[in-house]
Amino acid sequence: MTEKIGVLGKKPAQRTGVERIVNAPLPTVYGEFRAVGYLDHDRGDEQVALVHGEIGAENVLTRLHSECLTGDAFGSQHCECGDQLASALRAVAAEGSGVVVYLRGHEGRGIGLLAKLRAMALQAEGLDTVEANLALGLPVDARDYGVAAGILHDLGVNSVRLMSNNPRKREALTRHGIEVTETVPLLIPPCESNITYLRTKRERLDHHLPHLDAVAHLR
């Protein structure tokens, strides 16, 4: 099948950025949301923003949540991702309005599911999460938040109160034209299975996790 050629024999321009595809009601155990679906033309990923209530342009309570199959779907205690997602959805519902942008393609801080599982296997042998990625020849954090900013722009959001412990998210949104007026901590009580992971995030990835000081007894 031959490719269609446009005017003057030129190929049609390829689309870039994010495109809104669908807006559907999504009743959840946390409350009523709208699932606004997007296509990322640059990477081919399908993305979704969960919107609760009538959001304005300024100071919108917002979570950028990186996809984590093991934590979000399987309830893994290796990380705190599933609990963070649930807490963010509850917080948005309690606020009366807000957005949770669920970022697909961010599995394992951007290295993918199988690579993340390989890194977890190395962590079980004694490496921390940073050392494991490097041992596999992979970046420590390969995530990009340009798509998240594009989604927020499309939703009419100019500034956010960002639910995050990760300063890199704040910096990334600011670079992409979204003002962060406040960082709202999203602190999950640690357990024995994830305390080492969380301490590594604080000590090596600069996450703000002051609540870990109260659980020095966990190893």
Q: Which of 109, 118, 143, 170 is catalytic?
A: 143
Task: State the pLDDT at residue 210.
Answer: 87
Environment class of 205 (CB within 10 Å of its CB; exposed 0-12, middle 13-18, buried 19+): middle
Determine the Cα–Cα distance for residues 219 and 206; give it in Å rounded to an integer: 20
Determine the Cα–Cα distance for residues 148 and 38; give it in Å rounded to an integer: 10
Q: Which of 141, 161, 168, 199 is catalytic?
A: 141
Task: State the pLDDT at residue 13.
Answer: 60
pTM of the model: 0.89
Mean pLDDT of the chain: 91
Three-state DSSP class for residue 19: strand
Determine the Cα–Cα distance for residues 35 and 33; give it in Å rounded to an integer: 6
Is residue 2 very low, low, confident or very high in pLDDT (cuts 50, 70, 90)?
Answer: very low
Task: State the pLDDT at residue 6.
Answer: 43
Determine the Cα–Cα distance for residues 183 and 126; give it in Å rounded to an integer: 33
Task: State the pLDDT at residue 11.
Answer: 53
Q: Which residue is associated with the tokens 């970046």?
A: 139
Q: Give pairs for 202-209: CB < 8 Å, separation 24+.
A: 204/128, 204/130, 205/130, 205/140, 205/141, 205/166, 206/166, 206/167, 206/168, 207/165, 207/166, 207/167, 208/165, 208/166, 208/167, 208/183, 209/165
Chain segment 189-202, per-residue pLDDT in tens: 998 898 988 898 89
Task: State the pLDDT at residue 110.
Answer: 96
Residue 206 annotated in active site: no
Sheet holding 179-184, edge to edge: 18-28, 31-40, 46-52, 98-103, 60-66, 159-163, 179-184
Q: Which residue is associated with the tokens 């003002």?
A: 179
Side chain identity at residue 178, one-letter code: I
Chain segment 150-169, per-residue pLDDT in tens: 999 999 999 999 999 999 99
Residue 128 annotated in active site: no
Share of the chain above pLDDT 70, in %: 92
Chain segment 97-139, per-residue pLDDT in tens: 999 999 999 999 999 999 999 999 999 999 999 999 999 999 9
